């Protein structure tokens, strides 16, 4: 299965060789990064929590859905859990296909679905000391 | 003299249809509640929204718009300030005549209200209560301070507090799933199921635990959620969440079984 959950730093550079083969003319990736702001507040740290069994099974289903929906060669997604620092990769999606159009579409599809369907939650700590489980912001919407 | 006031519910937005018109065994919730009140009270009035047309002398349109249940009560107290008011909301389908009689029989001099305490969190219930004329004084003060909060109004009343004789007395129906749960319970003996409930993210924070063993008398997950919500004062709304049973997503109408592991999950925020 190509949906992975990890509590360690995502080794993004090692993913390409697992996904691309000689039939592929396109390789599209999305890297979600921990940014230092949310709703106007300064983020100092962040923690991801999940429902282990459901996050894995749902993620697996979504990767399969992307493979079924788009004529792509391979799809790979990995999500962090645990403590992350600003600048760190939180989620990484890689799509390989013969041609670029479906690779872009599948990548957009997969990140949009992961954000709404996989039981993962974000606990942010801000510079003013407040900590909160975040709610989806207006930009966290499907295109 | 005791006058009855039927609260017919606001916009019923969460239910998606007017709650007073829901039917059970051929009777609307409104008609059932009117029938109960008329068996206990000398006269019965119906609270209506501001601007509604009166069809008879017992209709009481609110004196001002958008005041919530306190607006209905204020209108009733202004109409007849010298009598007791037995107030009943139409979405408390487990309240019966004996429960209303108990309120009346428990009346005490110098107390503003006779009410039941919610058995899950001991909070006074204001939608099935007997208010004395002295409660009007307290309500006028609440309005002067521009508050319309029923809870803080109740907290400032001198109360005769009654413990319900059953856990589901004050069940009220907000969402279609609540109605489904209530219908699933009708005609069946109450049975207990021992399950494990898991809380995630914000719910875990509010519940103060990541999981607990629960003895539930609910039939569906919606009923189990309501028990847990009241016990822990959980703030997330039912439609915002997803439940799962034994590591599989399911619906709120799912009938759960003994020994199930149920997960209540607030909106996801991955990515």
Residue A143, pLDDT score: 42
CATH number for the domain including A96?
A: 3.90.1170.40
Say what the pTM is.
0.87
The CA distance from B260 to B264, in Å, is 13
Q: In this prediction, does ipTM exceed 0.90?
A: yes
Lookup: tokens for A111: 């990140």
Q: Do A54 and B201 touch (CB under 8 A)?
A: no
Residue A141, pLDDT score: 54
The CA distance from A32 to B260, in Å, is 36
The CA distance from B101 to B198, in Å, is 40
Torsions phi, psi for A11 (to 5 deg):
-90, 80
The CA distance from B234 to B237, in Å, is 8
Q: Could you read off the pLDDT of A95-142 as tens digits, one per residue?
A: 999 999 999 999 999 999 999 999 999 999 999 999 999 987 666 654
* Overall number of domains in chain A: 1
Instruction: Measure CB to CB from residue B247 to each of A32, A54, A117 and give the nearest one.
Output: A54
Domain ranges of chain B: 2-162, 176-265
Question: Could you tell me the fold of the domain covering B2-162?
Answer: Spore Coat Polysaccharide Biosynthesis Protein SpsA; Chain A (3.90.550)
Average pLDDT of chain A to the nearest whole number? 93
Distance to chain B for A135, nearest Cα, Å: 7
- Interval B143-162 mean pLDDT: 91
Residue A59 lies in a domain: yes
The CA distance from B240 to B244, in Å, is 14
- Interval B51-68 mean pLDDT: 89
Instruction: Measure CB to CB from residue A116 to each of B247, B265, B268 and give the nearest one.
Output: B268
Distance to chain B for A65, nearest Cα, Å: 17
Residue A141 lies in a domain: no
Where does chain B show beta strands of DSSP type E?
2-7, 23-24, 27-28, 43-48, 59-61, 84-89, 113-116, 128-131, 159-162, 193-199, 211-216, 242-245, 248-249, 261-265
Contact residues of B toward A, CB < 8 A: 198, 200-202, 205, 242, 244, 247-249, 263, 265-271
Q: Do A49 and B200 touch (CB under 8 A)?
A: yes
Instruction: Measure CB to CB from residue B271 to each of A49, A54, A91 and give the nearest one.
Output: A91
Residue A37 φ/ψ region, left for φ over 0, alpha for ψ in the -120 to 50 degree band, beta for the rest? beta
Question: Could you tell me the fold of the domain covering B176-265?
Answer: Ubiquitin-like (UB roll) (3.10.20)
Range of the domain at A121: 2-133
Distance to chain B for A113, nearest Cα, Å: 9
The residues facing B244 across adjacent strands are B249, B263
Residue B65, pLDDT score: 87
Other C-beta atoms closer than 10 Å to the C-beta of A24 total 17
Whether residue A91 has pLDDT greater than 60: yes
Q: Could you read off the pLDDT of B168-197 as tens digits, one per residue?
A: 899 989 999 999 999 999 978 888 999 999
Residue A101, pLDDT score: 97
């Amino acid at each position: 299965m190509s949906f992975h959950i990890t509590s360690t730093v995502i080794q993004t550079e090692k993913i390409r060789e697992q996904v691309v083969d000689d039939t592929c003319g396109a390789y599209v990736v999305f890297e979600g990064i921990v940014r230092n702001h949310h709703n106007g507040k300064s983020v100092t740290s962040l923690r991801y929590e999940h429902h282990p069994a459901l996050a894995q099974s749902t993620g697996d289903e979504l990767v399969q859905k992307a493979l079924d929906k788009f004529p792509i060669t391979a799809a790979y997604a990995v999500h962090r859990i645990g403590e992350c620092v600003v600048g760190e990769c939180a989620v990484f999606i890689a799509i390989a296909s013969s041609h670029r159009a479906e690779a872009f579409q599948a990548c957009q599809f997969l990140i949009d679905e992961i954000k709404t369907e996989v039981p993962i939650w974000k606990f942010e700590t801000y510079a003013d000391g407040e900590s909160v489980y975040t709610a989806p912001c207006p930009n966290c919407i499907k295109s | 003299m005791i006058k009855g006031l039927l609260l017919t519910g606001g916009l019923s937005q969460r239910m998606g249809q007017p709650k007073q018109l829901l039917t059970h065994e051929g009777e609307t919730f409104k008609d059932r509640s009117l029938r109960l009140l008329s068996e206990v009270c000398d006269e019965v009035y119906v609270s209506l929204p501001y601007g509604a047309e009166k069809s008879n002398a017992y209709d009481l349109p609110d004196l001002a718009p958008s005041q919530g249940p306190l607006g209905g009560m204020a209108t009733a107290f202004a109409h007849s300030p010298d009598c007791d008011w037995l107030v009943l909301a139409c979405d408390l389908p487990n309240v019966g005549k004996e429960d209303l009689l108990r309120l009346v029989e428990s009346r005490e001099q110098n107390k503003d209200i006779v009410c039941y305490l919610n058995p899950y969190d001991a909070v006074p219930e204001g939608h099935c209560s007997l208010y004395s004329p002295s409660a009007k004084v307290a309500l006028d003060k609440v309005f002067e301070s521009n508050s319309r909060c029923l809870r803080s109004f109740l907290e400032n009343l001198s109360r005769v507090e009654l413990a319900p004789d059953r856990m589901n007395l004050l069940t009220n129906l907000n969402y279609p799933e609540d109605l489904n749960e209530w219908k699933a319970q009708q005609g069946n003996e109450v049975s207990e199921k021992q399950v494990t409930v898991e809380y995630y993210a914000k719910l875990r924070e509010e519940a103060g635990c990541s999981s607990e063993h629960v003895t539930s008398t609910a039939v569906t997950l919606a009923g189990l959620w309501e028990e847990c919500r009241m016990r822990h004062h959980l703030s997330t709304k039912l439609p915002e969440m997803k439940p799962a049973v034994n590591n599989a997503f399911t619906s709120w109408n799912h009938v759960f079984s003994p020994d199930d592991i149920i997960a209540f999950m607030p909106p996801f925020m991955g990515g």
